Amino acid sequence: MTRRLPPILSRYGLASLLALSSFAAVAADEAMTTPAGKLGTAIVQHINADTADQIRRWAPSILSTAFDDADQADFIRSLVSTARDSGGLDVVNTRADERQPGLVFLRVKGHRTGQQAMLVLTPDDAQPGKLKSADLVGLEDPALYADWPKTIASLKDLPQVIEPVLQQLVQRSDFSGCVSVSDASKTVYDACRGLADRNQGTANDHQTKFRIGSMNKMFTAVAIAQLVEAGKLKWDATVADLLPEYPDRAAAAKMTVWQLLHHTAGLGDFFVAEFFAHRERFVDPADYIELIARQPRTGEPGAGWSYSNAGYVVLGRIVEKVSGEGYFDYIQRHVFAPPGMDSSGFDSLEDVTPKLAVGYFREGPFASDWKANWMTLPFKGSPAGGGFSTNADLLRFAAALQAGKLVNAQTLARMFDDEVPAGPGGYAAGFGDRTSHGQHIRGHAGGAPGMSADLAIVWEAKTAVAVTSNEGDSRAALMLAEHIADLLAASMPPANEPEAARTK
């Protein structure tokens, strides 16, 4: 069986995953009487009462024709596995994002182990009584960060704050991965737990390479910015101007580089059945273009934000056309080489990559058995994601970006102009951005079966957090990274303040 990239990661990305924990709770009776709330109640009732076959027969009746067929299959599988593994569900609370009317979040708790998850439901206004999208996302125990401090007196205090939570993640969730923190390019915390290869019993260490999913979008965005800075490309250039081979010429004439970078070009995804049936055909960005052009659009260019893997593959093809170099070669030479990211790259399923961790996932948020992710992977990573890196390399990237080694200060500032609202913050050119304690937290997360990672740069303090894991789809890596980033933002003054204030 092939598992796809979870729809929530495709649509919402980092910003909305953070928002799962930050949206204000709304009155239960108010949320549950909305169309999505009523369908959420029905879903929980069927999980608690029906057999697997009954759920498979009933679930399609509440999914609209706008719901992608493969996404439907994934969602129905998640409902079946939840009914099998949870022992039944209770609704804990409901949440909503007022910027996305109709969207409802139901936090649920399994009877068997107490594991919690979030149902994310979007109604289809054109087809009453049906959902146009739905996801079931595992959540960490809310008590995990109950003793997390609001501030720390010194970076020397980080181990005593992080270690207890990391130990609980290992004990409760069998967490596997690495956690690193840097201050002005100096590593001040670095720890690894778990196994890189469960068959061989190989432990993770500081040289372990992890797949990082959509974090590669940052690298693609930097490549585009470099070409703009070099005068070879314009932010407002259209796909029609840059890619004569793009089949949908009418759409290409409307889509700009700026829109592609911000997920506002109206492109959808390429993780469809055809892609997985012929993974070996999709190696270079050019191999994707015809498939991407045939997929349903999510809207008109410039009309709104809709997270798009396809858009970043198109950007990768633009990098090739404008630079005259292959995408992977360009990234290695111009993005990885300047910071010294010697342990980062893109591999194919045929390659032997020393120290690369094997990915593992659980088939649903309430399952307990691990499965290797070989059958879920693309044949090769793309400009949208799928490469690998180490924590040390990710921190090198963060330092180089702020030091002007990749783009100059003016170009970097432009990348964060005119952000598109998304989740609790905004989406810039290839980076998520939110504010915490008066400082910007910028970076990107990546996640898919067998991989979870996050880079969170506390911008003004010039500190950064990298968390990588060879497990997914888990929120553990993401939430740990963001909690540490929030703590640093609350505790560390901007880097231009006196050194004594930073090292108290």
Q: What is the mean pLDDT of the chain?
A: 90
**Entry pTM:** 0.90
Helix boundaries (H) for 33-68: 35-49, 52-58
Helices 69-85 + 35-49 axis angle, to 10: 50
- What is the b/e burial string over 283-320, where b = at least 16 CB atoms within 10 angstroms of the residue's CB? bbbbbbbebbbebebbeebeeebbbbbbbbbbbbbbbb
Res 94: pLDDT: 87
Render pLDDT for 62-116 as a digit per residue (tens, 0 to 9): 999 988 777 888 899 999 999 999 999 999 988 877 767 788 999 999 999 899 9
What domains can be seen in the chain, in order of their start residue? 7-139 (3.10.450)
> What is the rounded average pLDDT of the residues 28-48?
87
Q: 345 has which bridge partners?
A: 388
Name the nearest CA neighbour of 306 among 15, 62, 4.
Answer: 15
The answer to whether 315 touches 217, Cβ cutoff 8 Å, is: no
- Between CA 181 and CA 475 the distance in angstroms is 19
Structure tokens at 449: 């079966």
Cis amide leading into 85 (omega within 30): no
Res 497: pLDDT: 61
Is it the case that residue 316 has pLDDT exceeding 60? yes
DSSP state of 85: H
- Between CA 365 and CA 85 the distance in angstroms is 9
- Between CA 318 and CA 243 the distance in angstroms is 7
> What is the rounded average pLDDT of the residues 455-471?
97
- Between CA 173 and CA 167 the distance in angstroms is 10
Q: Which residues contact 266 (CB under 8 A, 6 or more apart)?
A: 251, 255, 259, 297, 298, 299, 300, 301, 302, 303, 306
Render pLDDT for 295-307 as a digit per residue (tens, 0 to 9): 989 889 998 898 9
- Window from 251-260, 469-478, 484-493 with minimum mean pLDDT: 469-478
Return the percentage of the chain with pLDDT > 70, whole number: 92
The answer to whether 138 touches 7, Cβ cutoff 8 Å, is: no
* pLDDT band of 15, cuts 50, 70, 90: very low
In 3-state terms, what secondary structure has residue 65? coil
The answer to whether 13 touches 422, Cβ cutoff 8 Å, is: yes
In 3-state terms, what secondary structure has residue 48? helix
Res 465: pLDDT: 98
Is it the case that residue 10 has pLDDT exceeding 80? no
Res 18: pLDDT: 43
- Window from 63-77, 308-322, 419-433, 476-490 with minimum mean pLDDT: 63-77
- Window from 2-6, 118-122, 381-385 with minimum mean pLDDT: 2-6
Is it the case that residue 28 has pLDDT exceeding 60? no
Q: Residue 483 is which amino acid? A: H
Is it the case that residue 25 has pLDDT exceeding 70? no
Res 29: pLDDT: 58
The answer to whether 107 touches 93, Cβ cutoff 8 Å, is: yes
Structure tokens at 388: 């690998």
The answer to whether 155 touches 360, Cβ cutoff 8 Å, is: no
Res 499: pLDDT: 42
* pLDDT band of 11, cuts 50, 70, 90: very low
Name the nearest CA neighbour of 43 among 128, 113, 111, 131.
Answer: 131
Render pLDDT for 134-183 as a digit per residue (tens, 0 to 9): 999 888 887 899 999 999 999 999 999 999 999 999 998 899 999 999 99
